[in-house]
Structure 1
Amino acid sequence: MGFERAAWPRIVPFALYMGFIALADLLGWAAAAPRWLYGVKVGVVLLALLYWWRRYDELRVPLPGARALLEALAVGLVVLVLWVNLDAGWMVIGQSAGFDPTADGAIQWPLVLMRIAGAALVVPVMEELFWRSFVMRWLAAPKFLEVHPARVGLRGFVITALLFGVEHNLWFAGVVAGVAYGWLYMRSGNLWSPVVAHAVTNGALGVWITCTGNWSYW
């Protein structure tokens, strides 16, 4: 199956994000990347999203109703709880260098706010456009924009959840999150539902990390 033109605005922001991660690994920055690199990464992704915003018809729609938003909020919090507990040895791929925003024992709050804002406001939009709106529907049909989320089918749902999982160091928690966000998308038919849930997970995770000092989860 090839990619139609509409795929690229959903692929490129994700590719840019992953490219920064690959560059850091290539330069040996996995454990000691410059602290400003994350801000540059999400900034570049944000610019790409804004450039193509008019092409994202799935986001240029009203937010789901109050009940659906509460459901997304609940799913996001459940995923958070599972994320910080599904960390047995076999559930983890490699080691995460994390993101430590401290210096001389003190938290550098601009770095914390940058990280939480990027993770809660930019990353969910970028990833949900790629994984749920594009990949999950493209696996059902090359003309993915014509595929209603409810008609994705088991194949697209499972493969996308698995791929979303292995994108993360905590791969099993990632699969669980992929199942939850995919289910929300298929249930609501509105991409804002998994975006909101994803944002809640990432934002609340950032608060939890900051309060507990578990920087490796970043």
Structure 2
Amino acid sequence: MPLNLPAPATLQRVAPFAAFMAILMLRGAAPQDDRWGFDTRWLYGLSLPVVGGLLVYWWRQYGELARQNLTDLRETLEAVAVGLIVCVLWVLLDAPWMQLGQAAAGFVPLDADGQLIWPLVAVRWAGAALLVPVMEELFWRSWLMRWLQQPAFAALAPQDVGLRAIVLSTFVFMLAHTLWLAAIVAGLAYALLYRRTGKLWSAVIAHAVTNGALGIWVVATRQWQFW
């Protein structure tokens, strides 16, 4: 029986996300002490060469991220504004009833004396602000949202995505996050921005601003539960 392999466009959007989730699961399963002989918080750093490497390898296949599909000034400013608003709401929407369980693994980049481990902070921030927005928008919006509208998603314009696909993809996006209400707000914001502009870069920029600003706030306030 022949194997039904995923189409190249699907594989190119799903594989980086799957690799990232596998790394997070490894971090969640790793001991928080030195039983493995090293600081397991550095496992997060695997996402940079592994996931980043996959994105670089397939970069020319991501037509939506080609230079001609970059946002103009107005679209960029709009994406930045959306990203900042989502960041603020993400911090505010953290009441106990707005949470789905506990995060798989906490990320506290402090040494035994309570001092910041800046290389660890840099790796975590770079992953969240530079890598995750590209990887996740390719998966959640470029692939899943459009695929839910029609399996031949690559030929579907973002403006043709219907409400059902937006809601369903946002629901699955929510399940992947502890702060479920904040995730709904973020998922809808990025999806509607992508649908309205027709440019994935709008969603990527908004997502990057949210994660980047949130990372700065987390380090400044030491509210590690948001990381």
**Normalized against structure 1, the TM-score is what?**
0.94
Aligned AA (2:144) = V
Unaligned runs of 5+ in 2: none
Q: Which runs of structure 2 are paired with 1:8-87 in the superposition (5 Å)?
A: 8-27=11-30, 34-62=40-68, 63-87=70-94
State the 1:20 CA deviation.
1.4
Residue 211 (structure 2) pairs with residue 205 (structure 1):
no
What is the distance in 2 between the residues matched to 1:138 and 1:127?
15
CA RMSD of aligned residues (A): 1.7
What is the Cα deviation at residue 94 of structure 1?
A: 1.1
| Corresponding residue for residue 181 of structure 2 | 172
Identity %: 53
Instruction: Name the counterpart of 1:98.
Output: 106
Provide the rounded CA distance (Å) in 1 between the counterparts of 2:19 and 2:225. 23
Q: CA deviation at 1:95?
A: 1.4
CA offsets, 1:55-107, max 9 Å, x none? Answer: 10110133111111010000000000000010111210111242111111111
Is 124-133 or 82-91 further displaced after alignment?
82-91
Structure 1 residue runs of 5 or longer lacking an equivalent are none
TM norm structure 2 = 0.90
Aligned pairs, how many?
216
Residue type of the alignment partner of 2:166: F
Q: Which amino acid aligns with 2:119?
A: P
Change in Cα spacing, 1:161 to 1:40, as seen in structure 2 (3 Å) is: same
Deviation (angstroms), 1:3: 4.4
1:120 aligns with 2:120: no
Tell me whether 175-184 or 165-174 shows the greater mean CA deviation. 165-174
Equivalence for 2:192 = 183
